[in-house]
A = this chain, B = another copy of it.
Amino acid sequence: MTGVPQAGWGPDRPIGVAVLGMGNVGTEVVRILRDHADDLRARVGAPVVLRGVAVRSISDRGIPAELLTTDPDALVARDDVDVVVEVIGGIDPPRRLILAALNAGKSVVTANKALLADYTGELAAAAERSRADLYFEAAVAGAIPVVRPLIQSLAGDRVNRVVGIVNGTTNFILSAMDETGADYSATLAEATRLGYAEADPTADVEGYDAAAKAAILATLAFHTRVTAADVYREGIAKITAEDLETASAVNCTVKLLAICERVPEAPGEPAPADGGKERVSVRVYPALIPRKHPLATVSGAFNAVVVEAEAAGRLMFYGQGAGGAPTASAVLGDLVMAARNKFYGGRAPGESVYAELPIAPIGDTPTRYHVNLQVEDRPGVLQKVAGEFAAHGVSISTVRQGGHGELARLVVVTHHALESALADTVAALAEMDSVTSVTSVLRLEGTEE
């Protein structure tokens, strides 16, 4: 990439890089910085030089010992550091270190979704004040370019919905449950053994990781500040082997979805596209999706994000959403851009939250339910159950009856209705004498209706 450097910069003045953290991602970032130094120099216009790596404790990491430090603050503050790469994770110390870097006019590249989900506003304001860059492609879906397309490629379009599989651990577990028929705890144990789940899997299986990414995606898609607290969240720990079996019976599978979409301002109002006002619904939960849906074929630890925009139509981005090398690829792309901006005087696009759309509570969000009931096997039960749905204004799409003997099984799939009405219906069903148990309730996504 050719061009005329800014005053003070030139091919002999290196761009100094500090890497904070040397886990899976940091190790790969350091490896690429060293192995591909020639390519990086050619792409930036000046050498990209690793000044130091902040680690928790000094040990042999396969790089010269003098590059390692346990003092990240001092590393960030060095005069010869121009760009700071933060791959530690968590809120602190990354928040302090990133703010220090930005306040000093240094550009920052981070993969830290948890931090961004809650503190993007603060970080973006610091970057703005000192005209520094804040890049974070790696924070969502690893190597898959989705942050940059949302910020830049779709900058002139109107995004209506983003639906993604953005957590590899849960997708690995759900894919395996679908394939093997095994139950959740056995599959989680296997995922842990294979390294797909961490020793404490809470952040993944309870949906916190996906919710942080959903908050980032929604912020970008709708030009509206969305934080993790705005995201309705359910994890996959309650998904059973029977849920997968039930899903299969209706040609569906179960995926943990991050869903960001525009919804009408008030229940019953016309959709935003038809002139209604609008709010933003952001939610993470396991849901049935038809096997023919593009996201249904995303298996194992892969990620995919579907973006629906007014002019662009439906776009899909697919690839490796986690892991050291894929995440490092996204970090390095941002790093080259940040370094080029230093050199040539460009700027990353700043934060865009001008739309300030309100967040719709989960109850006001239109969804579909797939309800599994055990009922007494006698005449009139179906009618009573159907009556309960009707009483709450919920329209039924299909009912299947199964089972035999004293108990029968009813599987009810609804049309779109408000979450609150659906939840009230299920609560009422559980109280009915002729309903022995509500075996499972799953949402159904990805249908045209």
Q: Which of A96-104, A232-240, A327-335, A359-367 contacts B (4 or more CB under 8 A)?
A: A327-335
**Contact pick for A157, options B157, B312, B329, CB 8 Å:** B329
CB of A356, distance to nearest CB on chain B (Å): 10
The distance in angstroms between the C-alpha atoms of A2 and B129, with both chains bound, is 10
CB-CB under 8 A from A28, the residues of chain B are 311
Contact mask for chain A residues 119-145; partner B; CB cutoff 8 A; 1 contact, 0 none: 000001000100100000100000111
**Contact pick for A143, options B2, B137, B158, B315, CB 8 Å:** B315
The distance in angstroms between the C-alpha atoms of A316 and B328, with both chains bound, is 18
Q: Is A181 an interface residue (CB 8 A)?
A: no
**Contact pick for A312, options B42, B158, B223, B326, CB 8 Å:** B326
Q: Is A43 an interface residue (CB 8 A)?
A: yes
The distance in angstroms between the C-alpha atoms of A428 and B275, with both chains bound, is 68
Given known pairs A43-B223, A149-B149, the reply for A349 and B1 (CB within 8 Å) is yes
Q: Could you say how many copies of this chain the assembly holds?
A: 2
The distance in angstroms between the C-alpha atoms of A355 and B1, with both chains bound, is 11
Q: Is A309 an interface residue (CB 8 A)?
A: yes
Q: Is A398 an interface residue (CB 8 A)?
A: no
Q: Is A155 an interface residue (CB 8 A)?
A: yes
CB of A171, distance to nearest CB on chain B (Å): 15
- Contact between A152 and B329, CB atoms less than 8 A apart: no
CB-CB under 8 A from A331, the residues of chain B are 156
CB-CB under 8 A from A2, the residues of chain B are 124, 128, 350-352
The distance in angstroms between the C-alpha atoms of A223 and B2, with both chains bound, is 11
The distance in angstroms between the C-alpha atoms of A144 and B157, with both chains bound, is 12
Given known pairs A312-B320, A318-B294, the reply for A3 and B347 (CB within 8 Å) is yes
The distance in angstroms between the C-alpha atoms of A328 and B155, with both chains bound, is 12
CB-CB under 8 A from A36, the residues of chain B are 156, 158
- Contact between B337 and A349, CB atoms less than 8 A apart: yes
Q: Is A184 an interface residue (CB 8 A)?
A: no
CB of A6, distance to nearest CB on chain B (Å): 10
**Contact pick for A156, options B1, B4, B32, B355, CB 8 Å:** B32
CB-CB contacts below 8 Å: A330-384 with B: 330-337, 340-341, 344-347, 349-352, 354-355
Interface contacts beyond A3-B128, A144-B315, A309-B329: sample of 17 additional A-B pairs, CB < 8 Å, sorted by A:
A1-B349, A1-B350, A1-B352, A2-B128, A3-B350, A32-B157, A36-B158, A143-B312, A143-B313, A145-B149, A145-B154, A155-B333, A156-B335, A294-B318, A315-B320, A316-B319, A318-B318
Query: Which residues of A are interface residues toward B (Cβ below 8 A)?
Result: 1-4, 28, 32, 36, 39-40, 42-43, 124, 128, 131, 137, 143-145, 148-149, 152-158, 223, 294, 309-320, 325-326, 328-337, 340-341, 344-347, 349-352, 354-355
- Residue pairs across A and B with Cβ atoms less than 8 A apart, 10 shown, are A2-B128, A2-B351, A3-B347, A32-B156, A36-B158, A145-B153, A311-B329, A313-B326, A315-B317, A346-B347
